[in-house]
């Protein structure tokens, strides 16, 4: 008889993604950012970029990298969100963040980013979380700022001509580095 505790209905399960998750992770990321399906949520980039956001090899690379974790988030057995955490010395990088468009705006993203920050602090004892966001995404940047991230003004160019990152619909796209001090966010610290 199986006596392992079972998650209660609606409970979020956080786990490391495995190779069997690749197709579902790619579909989730694409649905959150590209095409008409992404317009159901607020994180869509459909007006900025067409084409793919990621591909199976990119997801496999994160899963197999010893310095990275691809966190799969499930509810009632379905993949509802994911994010990448990568250890980069004194900081962690946060990327590949996607929440199912149908579930966006209900607070799930806040829970996931808080868990990602806790995981990075505990696993790697890092002081900061870094991420890059397309600088034209004012609404998304504002969302991260409300979670304690700060704009650095450090920009990197969008990889125009590399369709692995999408097909730009504008000629002014670039990434801005956002940073959060995790040392101040530690429980029990002043």
**Burial per residue of 2-32, b for 16 or more beta-carbon CB atoms within 10 angstroms, e otherwise:** eeeeeeeeeeeeeeebeeebbebbbebbbbb
Residue 122 lies in a domain: yes
Q: What is the pLDDT of residue 50?
A: 84
Residue 190 lies in a domain: no
Residue 7 lies in a domain: no
Residue 107 lies in a domain: yes
pTM exceeds cut of 0.75: yes
Give residue-wise pLDDT tens across range 61-95.
999 999 999 999 999 999 999 999 999 999 999 99
Residue 30 lies in a domain: yes
Q: What is the pLDDT of residue 16?
A: 97
Domain count, the chain: 1
Find the CATH number of the domain harbouring 88. 3.40.630.30
Within 10 angstroms of residue 64's Cβ, the number of other Cβ atoms is 10
Residue 117 lies in a domain: yes
Q: What is the mean pLDDT of the chain?
A: 90
pLDDT bracket for residue 189 (50, 70, 90):
very low
Q: What is the pLDDT of residue 184?
A: 66
Q: What is the pLDDT of residue 185?
A: 56
Residue 6 lies in a domain: no
Residues of the domain holding 78: 12-181
Segment 157-185 shows an average pLDDT of 89
100/47: higher pLDDT: 100
Residue 1 lies in a domain: no
Over its C-alpha atoms, the chain yields an Rg (Å, rounded) of 17
């Amino acid at each position: 008889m199986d006596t392992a505790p079972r998650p209660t209905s609606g409970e979020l399960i956080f786990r490391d993604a495995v190779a069997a998750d690749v197709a579902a992770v790619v579909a989730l990321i694409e649905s959150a950012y590209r095409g008409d399906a992404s317009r159901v949520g607020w994180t869509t980039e459909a007006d900025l970029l067409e084409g793919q956001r990621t591909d199976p090899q990119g997801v496999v690379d994160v899963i197999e990298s010893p310095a990275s974790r691809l966190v799969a988030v499930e509810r009632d057995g379905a993949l509802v969100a994911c994010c990448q955490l990568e250890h980069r010395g004194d900081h962690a990088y946060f990327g590949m963040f996607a929440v199912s468009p149908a579930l966006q705006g209900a607070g799930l993203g806040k829970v996931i980013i808080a868990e990602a920050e806790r995981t990075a602090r505990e696993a790697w004892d890092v002081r900061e979380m870094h991420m890059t966001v397309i600088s034209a995404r004012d609404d998304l940047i504002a969302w991260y700022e409300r979670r304690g991230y700060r704009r650095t003004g450090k920009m990197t160019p969008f990889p125009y001509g590399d369709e692995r990152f999408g097909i730009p619909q504008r000629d002014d796209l670039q990434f801005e580095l956002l940073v959060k001090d995790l040392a101040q966010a530690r429980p029990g610290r002043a």
